[in-house]
Structure 1
């Protein structure tokens, strides 16, 4: 995970209890019909040979790393830091017992069955009873009643079938665009095709390509993202959460601690006039999505 800026830390505290502060008439709305802010760069690591082994690792691993760093270090570091981040998430959840996080595990290139087993065991061990099974309707009232705080989206279909704690991979609308207007057109075209039935992500992140890099030799992904945020902010404010075809769910981007992104996404939930009722684990749409004017 990239180093957290002071702005991001402030943002975390500022919105640390936003779910528990939603009006009661939204507590029975499934989370996939709410507007949720997301981060595209979470759990992405840039490590080098000078990075230190986590102090939470065993003494043996720390000694091995010192003796054979060129072989052991890269493997230990990536796994160590991942576990550290999961423990940090758990610590945060314990301090915010009515908040829910959705973690997407994806891009498993080269991951063996043994490593899948190791990763899933680690997730279960750390989050334990906070993991929400995929057969539960994830409303806030349900989550609070059973103490669930974590939804794990897992990209490997075979592993999802084996574990009730793993949810199917969440679709990500990734425009792969370098221009803001092109990205907005892509997202609008995806909306016209209809939203998925459960969770999905509308990605507002721009993507560099070789042509863009050559034209902007002194640029960076951060500069690219931040310059687009004022325009994307206007698009975000026009969106509606809910079950209708053109509604959104999770909106995720890079460097989300800027330009009030999180606040804007959360504010969209004020447009919802309770769109559905549910009974047990069955959902039934009634008087669906009477959306207020923006």
Structure 2
């Protein structure tokens, strides 16, 4: 059993905020041997996953990986859930039998219509991972929410332009609930509502919208109706009211139903969006130039929502809408093909009239997958999300703008983005 006296020998610089801790190695782009983080499996069991850097020299590799409910310095025997011998898992990965479920969000960030104040800073959930060699902690990390990470890092982020910062996002952000079980595997791209995505640190939301004459506007996954759009708009509105310095990019990227989505439908929809978000919508006037405005310039206007819209005619007629945001989507179910596509997209992309651009870093089921009932969205996220974390952590650290994924808790891109932005 570990003893508390060795906890003082911590390598690196520990950045403490709220109830959260993260130990970084200074002046390195790539993470060091033994760096750790937790993820949540995208499969229905939502089991917690242990991840650590295992590409190490023998004399520096961690001996043990400890999974606990408290920070190791505060841990007793009852708080340690699991202790692994790192050498037994050379891939640096272990899926635990501890289910994450849908826990209460700390720091008063549980959703409530009546709450008018939330606490600033990151907050740990009761899950910690620590890598240890001898009596030395190499790295430690908790599974945390990051509801105010932009404001928390304002001294380094303020001078950076919106088209240059690393913005973690979700793909089909509103496709998280409300679907019959037999369709779920090929329709739902997330398992957390939009509020929870934002509280964890997501700052780009990708939506498709359908209109149904008797029911109104819905978030769609292509032709499939998922959830009433007002539910999503209300969650965004509540979040930006409580965290007004967090810049949220809302991308209404497609309008797949009906196929003839008319100008009148667009007018009705934008009226609805403005009713919820108009007070917070940043007008693009004079800002869609080059890499766009800095965060300081955005904050000076006291507007924190950038609304991108795929219908150019509607944009021309609406002063608060931004031009369509370019997405790079690989449309593949192959990890290697996706990496090749993203590599080319990073090298070849050009700034358009909208200063932001998005890499859609997820795998997509192909027609044969539907027929054979294989490669559903959960399984594809399980296959690719650990790799996506590695690509952006180790290769594309400074190259990304928006990066959107499926089942975002099964990667570590929010932490990678925060770290990358703080080092630029």
TM-score w.r.t. length of structure 2? 0.52
Task: Give the equivalent residue in structure 2 for 1:117.
Answer: 267
**Separation in 1, partners of 2:374, 2:344:** 32
Partners of 1:150 and 1:138 lie apart in 2 by 13
Within a 5 Å distance, the mapping from 1:125-144 to structure 2 comes to 125-135=275-285, 136=287, 137-144=292-299
Per-residue Cα deviation, 1:110-144 (whole angstroms, up to 9, x for no partner): 32222111111111121123111112343221222
Is 1:75 the equivalent of 2:231? no
Distance 1:74 1:205, change over 3 A: farther
Alpha-carbon contact 1:16-1:96 (below 8 Å) kept: yes
Cα 1:235–1:15 change in 2 (3 A) is: same
Aligned CA distance change for structure 1 residues 77 and 26 (closer, same or farther; 3 Å): closer
Note the 1:153-192 alignment, pairs <5 A: 153-192=308-347
Q: Deviation string for 1:23-49 (max 9, x for gaps)? A: 414302111110000000212376569
- Relative to its length, the structure with more helix (as a share) is 1
Give yes or no for contact 1:28–1:141 (8 Å, CA) kept in 2. Answer: yes
SS of equivalent to 1:176: coil
| Equivalent of 1:262 in 406, 414, 419 | 414
Residue of 152, 177, 192 corresponding to 1:21: 152
The aligned residue for residue 206 of structure 1 is: 363
Q: CA deviation at 1:7?
A: 6.7
- Equivalent residues of 2:386, 2:410 under 8 A apart: no
Q: Distance in 1 between matches of 2:102 and 2:323?
A: 34
Asked if structure 1 preserves the Cα contact closer than 8 Å seen for 2:365 and 2:375, the reply is no
Structure 2 residue runs without a partner (length 5+): 1-45, 47-100, 110-122, 124-144, 181-211, 220-226
Summarize the Cα distance change of 1:236–1:96 in structure 2 as closer, same or farther, 3 Å threshold.
Answer: same
CA RMSD of aligned residues (A): 2.9
Structure 1 counterpart of 2:134: none
1:1-294 to 2 correspondence within 5 Å?
6=102, 14-44=145-175, 47=178, 75-76=215-216, 78=218, 81-109=228-256, 110-135=260-285, 136=287, 137-197=292-352, 198-213=355-370, 217=373, 219-237=375-393, 238-241=395-398, 247-272=399-424
- SS of 2:282's equivalent in the other structure is coil
Give the conservation status (yes or no) of the 8 Å contact 1:31–1:140: yes
Q: Note if contact 1:180-1:232 (Cα within 8 Å) is conserved in structure 2.
A: no
Distance 2:252 2:217 in 1: 18
CA distance in 1, matches of 2:105, 2:382: 18
User: Does the C-alpha gap of structure 1 residues 9 and 200 become closer, same or farther in structure 2, counting only changes over 3 Å?
Assistant: farther
CA gap of 1:99–1:44, structure 2 versus 1, over 3 A, is same
1:184-203 superposed Cα distances (whole Å, 9 cap, x missing partner): 11111112214425100011
Change (3 A) 1:140 1:181: same
**Conservation of the 8 A alpha-carbon contact between 1:103 and 1:152:** yes
| Contact kept in structure 1, 2:150 and 2:157, CA below 8 Å | no
Deviation at 1:173, TM superposition (A): 0.6
How far did residue 107 of structure 1 move?
1.7
Is the 1:19–1:99 Cα contact (8 Å) retained in structure 2? yes
Give 1:9 shift.
5.9
Q: Is the 8 A contact 1:240 1:248 kept in 2?
A: yes
Identify unmatched segments of 5+ residues in structure 1. Answer: 50-71, 242-246, 273-294
